[in-house]
Amino acid sequence: MSALRLAICDPAEETRENLKHLVMGIDSVCLEADGSRYEFFFDVAKQSEPEAVLINIDSDIDAAIELIGKLRNEFPKAGIIAISSSTEGQTILRIMRAGAREFINAPIDAQELVAALERVGENTSAAGARPKSGRIIAVAGSSGGVGTTSIAVNLACSMAQIPGESIALIDLDLSLGDADVFLDSIPEYTLLDVAQNVSRLDLSLLRKSLTKHESGVFLLPRPVQLQDMETVNSSDFGRVLKLLKASFTHLIVDLSKSYNALDLTTLQAADDILLLTQLDLPCLRNVVRLLTSLETIDNLVDKIKIVVNRSGLDNNQISLKKAEEHIGREIFWQIPNNFSAVSEGRNNGIPLIDSSPNSSITQNIIALANRMTNNTVEGDDDEEIGEKKEKKRLFSFLSKG
């Protein structure tokens, strides 16, 4: 799953450097080469054999269009993206006829560039194996206090240990979110700062606005002041999600319990939704209520995976079988109860992979991280947990204490 190999040609130094700065903030893109002369760039491309080419045509339209034609003939599978400040229809038509696959107006909008690169990546990947962009995993709760932040933070930290994975964690509980406390971090910027300036941020600056934890996780925390909650709108937040998807392999979003507009924006954009519950009646009733309510949104319920947290907390809890009958679907995952380890890690601001690396709950979350990233580890019992028969046997054992 290699990054899209890219080459840039732009005779204007300022715009060329800005363009390089922009694409270098995208994890799914690898900048192979850049050139400042149309007449020499063909030789540069022959050496690097890029899968995509960005060409700013404004310095010499005729020379740039001639270069596009030569590149199209030499590299028919490469996606050529032309950039120009011109909006003249005849010029754009000449560019597309010469062989450009995409056209972007300057100054470049980051989202527009990301979308063009994704389309080029789809066409140039013969087997379709290259990832289009990052995946969003929403962590939601069926009630307050079921451990969504704990699981979101520790899942993110565990995923960040997997080679090739880059993880961003977003705290969407704008009133009482405490993901920064779990990671003992004092962020310089918050979700409010990023959302209000998203139209002026390129991908590199956006990434720098996040707080990097020593585990490798990049954190975007909730706003500082309670009165700032209302100033983050779903439109700006949707743009933040799109840009972060282009820069990270996975986004973990810790939702609030209010299921407000920002939460629904995340749920609709998410690839997977981990809905946390405990095996007690109030939580399970809320699970049913949420599933029923979210059925009105196309394809949303299909993305939901039910996760039981704090398994074995009470020997008199509702059995797994009864829970599945009550909610009408299978349990995807079950996380064992270990209050002391989780509490110690939270109070010290240390994730479980560092505070209790050998505990059952840490190993369980590591297995979940491997599952969510489709990472196969030799000797891991991840597949065993995935089989329904083995899963129910494990859950039955845990529920019996």
Domain identity same for 265 and 364: yes
In this prediction, residue 376 has a pLDDT band, given cuts at 50, 70 and 90, of low
Domain identity same for 199 and 113: no
Domain identity same for 112 and 164: no
Residue 87 reports pLDDT greater than 70: yes
The answer to whether residues 269 and 176 touch, using CB atoms and an 8 Å cutoff, is no
Domain identity same for 195 and 339: yes
- Predicted local confidence at residue 103, as pLDDT: 96
Q: How far apart are CA 131 and CA 154, in angstroms?
A: 24
Domain identity same for 54 and 93: yes
- Predicted local confidence at residue 315, as pLDDT: 61
- As a whole number, mean pLDDT of residues 295-299 equals 88
CATH number, domain of 51, equals: 3.40.50.2300
- Predicted local confidence at residue 299, as pLDDT: 86
- Predicted local confidence at residue 109, as pLDDT: 87
In this prediction, residue 393 has a pLDDT band, given cuts at 50, 70 and 90, of very low
Question: What is the rounded average pLDDT for all residues in the chain?
Answer: 87
More confident of the two residues 392 and 299: 299
Residue 316 reports pLDDT greater than 70: no
Residue 1 reports pLDDT greater than 70: no
More confident of the two residues 217 and 242: 217
- Predicted local confidence at residue 378, as pLDDT: 46
Residue 125 reports pLDDT greater than 80: no
Give how many domains the chain has, as a whole number: 2
Beta carbons within 8 Å of 346's beta carbon, 6+ residues apart: 150, 181, 182
pLDDT, tens only, 135-182: 999 999 999 999 999 999 999 999 999 998 999 999 999 999 999 999
- Predicted local confidence at residue 391, as pLDDT: 44
The answer to whether residues 280 and 313 touch, using CB atoms and an 8 Å cutoff, is no
- Predicted local confidence at residue 2, as pLDDT: 57
Residue 392 reports pLDDT greater than 50: no
Q: Domain end: 94, 124, 154, which one?
A: 124
Distance of CA 159 to the CA centre of its chain: 12
Domain identity same for 116 and 180: no
pLDDT, tens only, 227-278: 888 889 998 898 889 888 878 999 999 999 999 999 999 999 999 999 999 9
The pTM of the full predicted model, rounded to 2 decimals, is 0.74
pLDDT, tens only, 6-28: 999 999 999 999 898 888 778 77
**Torsion sign across C-alpha atoms 203, 205, 208, 209:** negative
Q: For residue 79, what are the CA distances in angstroms to 41, 85, 86, 270, 364?
A: 16, 20, 21, 28, 42
- Predicted local confidence at residue 230, as pLDDT: 84
Q: Is residue 130 part of a domain?
A: no
Q: Domain end: 124, 144, 163, which one?
A: 124
CATH number, domain of 142, equals: 3.40.50.300
- As a whole number, mean pLDDT of residues 206-215 equals 92
Domain identity same for 70 and 200: no
Q: Is residue 277 part of a domain?
A: yes
In this prediction, residue 111 has a pLDDT band, given cuts at 50, 70 and 90, of confident
Domain identity same for 267 and 387: yes
Domain identity same for 267 and 169: yes
Domain identity same for 335 and 292: yes
- As a whole number, mean pLDDT of residues 63-83 equals 94
pLDDT, tens only, 45-60: 988 888 999 999 999 9
In this prediction, residue 124 has a pLDDT band, given cuts at 50, 70 and 90, of low
Report the phi/psi class of residue 164: left, alpha or beta, with left for phi > 0 and alpha for psi in -120 to 50.
left
The domain of 243 spans: 135-399
- As a whole number, mean pLDDT of residues 197-203 equals 75
CA-closest candidate to residue 67, choices 77, 53, 85, 88: 53
Q: How far apart are CA 123 and CA 336, in angstroms?
A: 44
Q: Domain end: 124, 144, 161, which one?
A: 124
Domain identity same for 251 and 391: yes
